[in-house]
Structure 1
Amino acid sequence: MVKSSSLALAVLIAGFSGSAIAQGKPTLTIYTYDGCASEWGPGEPLKDGFEATCNCTVNWVAADSSIGTLRKVQLEGESTEADMILGLDTAIAGEARATGLFADHGLALSDLALPGEWTDAQFVPFDYSHFAFMHDTDTMPVPPASFEELIALPDDIKIAIQDPRSATPGLGLMLWVKAAYGERAPEIWAGLKPHILTITREWSESYALFLDGEADMVLSYTTSPAYHIFDEDDHTIKAAMFSEGHFPQIEVAGILKSSDQQDLARDFLAYLTSVEGQKVIPTTNWMFPVVDLGTELDASFEGLPQPDKTLTLEESEIIANSPAWIEEMLAAVQ
């Protein structure tokens, strides 16, 4: 009886101690898009790598898109459980910044390998690529080399693109055309209209149409061929390089002011932009890392074409004009 009581007391004390330890272990909650948090995305290896350096737990919360993560935080406001968002990009960073919900990251980011200098005080980049149209060399050996060449193709050549209101690639395409053609953008959209098979809500839907042969080309990234080389040993999927230049997507992460784990969040951002963290990105998110990995960058990325010209728009211009530019695009293609 005494032994049983002592054992019960020991179990109770051990259980209490374990609970106390668990309660003392902070959790970093990160809102992201579903591709990042999926079993094949960068979320799990980033979680494992960071948890190995801290006495903490990383909790991913996935939305259907990076735009969806921002909308979720906007709705939740200061009551959000999120400590940070990972997966916004520079096309919507200005809108995110304008909410006033994000804190300065306080990191020195002078040695990044990006198309241009990085000076953003709130958002930290973790990967990048340029938007491009994919084609299959088996069915389209010679792709168009500009938007105007694409427009000039027979109308039965079809492309799949994404909605700029729900998918960052769709928003990127809208900005790409505007950056390349300015006031001529409606003319370009009207010319593209006969070629548009469909405008999907998300990237995965349109890419599936391309892989199934229903679309001849699909809006994606200059780095997308690396996946096919790495995973399938397929070298037939290529990015068509356009003479106008290409618009970049730089994905970013930011800390929320409402977070009670801001130091931990900064530690995560430091890990994310370290060589160890960046090793995860290329073969899980299929984008270029933001630091020079040298020989540690997978061979599937070797020889991928880079645009001769990177097109840009000022953040203030994007914030002021995006709604009107989206309406301009949709009015021309629908």
Structure 2
Amino acid sequence: MKHLALATGCLLATQAVAETPVLNVYTYESFTSEWGPGPQIEAGFEAQCGCDVVFTGVGDGAALLSRVRLEGARSEADVVVGLDTALMARARATGLFAPTEASAEYDLPIPWEDPDFVPFDWGYFAFVGEAGAEHPTSFEALAASDLSIVIQDPRSSTPGLGLLMWVKAAYGDRASEIWEGLADNILTVTPGWSEAYGLFLDGEADLVLSYTTSPAYHIIAEGDDSKVALPFEEGHYMQVEIAGRLAASDQPELAEQFLQYLLGAEAQGVLPETNWMYPVVLPEGGLAEGFQQIVTPDKALLLEAGEADALREEALAEWRAALAR
């Protein structure tokens, strides 16, 4: 009888595990790191859903879309977190994403209405350097300097692509001229943000392409105010990061619930001090003091999603031509 009871207990435990639904979420690697928002968001949603959330880190944001496009309808992903508005038109054109009803009262500097994607955080691109030094205040001044910079590859990284859009939005037809001037400042081009920022922290370059919010990390997490974002006269390009659910998902209800959770107070409260971006819904108590000590751009730049996609190949060609010289 003991053997029968043991066998019955094992069978019930196996069935319980088998019946636990799994939600597969593709995102970029820094999101899933131990210091990123992934672990807290995973635990928070699992406490509500009775499911198992499995995060898969896939390089940076542009590499993430490439992975989803390659896998197509066979992808194991139910939700994709970490594309942005520069990739949104291209993501929609795949036909792989399903409409969503997830929504919130957004605290964004732009209006947001989209049938397929929800925003979850946002920020401004900026070059980050050491405090106390004299820094250029424009792309043209940067190009005229002897400062070394680390940037990210626009073909794999959303900050890298954002830099292309930033130069394009600020200079239009003069973008290729700006890139020709910047070419000799570029120490290296990394696949993603983490590698670039690591090189900067190791003292390999004077400046790194990052965000105006990056110094808030050093202030809040490290008590270090030695890093600053450089305010540029042209303005700063805005990034709005987005999430969407896949039409081929075998967990459509869970995927929809997850998108709504991402917009809720719990997840939005996690993002500022783990992803070091602005939340799309401000916490009741506001943001930590460190966010009040950072640069706030006087001018915001953002190309509409369709326009950004239309300019992408031209901007890439200008960037490649300048770096090949």
TM-score exceeds 0.5: yes
Moved more, 207-216 or 227-236: 207-216
Per the alignment, residue 145 of structure 1 pairs with 137
What is the alpha-carbon distance in structure 2 between the residues aligned to residue 62 and residue 10 of structure 1?
42
Task: Give the secondary-structure state (helix, strand or coil) at the position aligned to 2:242.
Answer: strand
Say yes or no: does 1:62 pair with 2:57: yes
Structure 1 residues 115-141: Cα deviation after superposition (integer angstroms, max 9, x where no partner): 201111111111111000001014x2x
How far 1:309 moved relative to its partner? Answer: 1.3
> Unaligned stretches of 5+ in structure 1?
1-5
1:29-178 to 2 correspondence within 5 Å? Answer: 29-109=24-104, 111-138=105-132, 140=133, 142-153=134-145, 155=146, 157-178=147-168
What is the alpha-carbon distance in structure 1 between the residues aligned to residue 205 and residue 317 of structure 2?
24
Per the alignment, residue 24 of structure 1 pairs with 19
Q: Any runs of at least 4 consecutive aligned residues in structure 1 with deviations exceeding 6 A, and if so which?
A: none
What is the alpha-carbon distance in structure 1 between the residues aligned to residue 314 and residue 140 of structure 2?
23
Read off the aligned partner of 2:10 and give its amino acid letter. G
Per the alignment, residue 300 of structure 1 pairs with 290
How far 1:299 moved relative to its partner? Answer: 2.5
Moved more, 310-319 or 178-187: 310-319
What is the alpha-carbon distance in structure 2 between the residues aligned to residue 209 and residue 70 of structure 1?
25
8 Å Cα contact 2:60/2:191 also seen in 1: no
Say yes or no: does 1:284 pair with 2:278: no
Task: Give the secondary-structure state (helix, strand or coil) at the position aligned to 2:98.
Answer: coil
What is the alpha-carbon distance in structure 2 between the residues aligned to residue 304 and residue 48 of structure 1?
30
Task: Give the secondary-structure state (helix, strand or coil) at the position aligned to 1:295.
Answer: coil
Number of equivalent positions: 324
What is the alpha-carbon distance in structure 2 between the residues aligned to residue 281 and residue 118 of structure 1?
19
Say yes or no: does 1:188 pair with 2:178: yes
CA-atom RMSD, angstroms? 1.4
Q: Percent identity?
A: 49
Moved more, 215-224 or 61-70: 61-70
Per the alignment, residue 239 of structure 2 pairs with 249
How far 1:279 moved relative to its partner? Answer: 1.0
What is the alpha-carbon distance in structure 1 between the residues aligned to residue 215 and residue 9 of structure 2?
53
Moved more, 98-107 or 323-332: 323-332
How far 1:174 moved relative to its partner? Answer: 0.4
What is the alpha-carbon distance in structure 1 between the residues aligned to residue 116 and residue 92 of structure 2?
8
Query: Structure 1 209/283 Cα, relative in aligned 2: closer, same or farther at 3 Å?
Result: same
Per the alignment, residue 3 of structure 1 pairs with none
Task: Give the secondary-structure state (helix, strand or coil) at the position aligned to 2:295.
Answer: coil
Per the alignment, residue 308 of structure 2 pairs with 318
Read off the aligned partner of 2:26 and give its amino acid letter. Y
What is the alpha-carbon distance in structure 2 between the residues aligned to residue 69 and residue 312 of structure 1?
22
Structure 1 residues 186-230: Cα deviation after superposition (integer angstroms, max 9, x where no partner): 111111122222222222222222222221111100100011112
> Unaligned stretches of 5+ in structure 2?
none
What is the alpha-carbon distance in structure 1 between the residues aligned to residue 315 and residue 162 of structure 2?
12
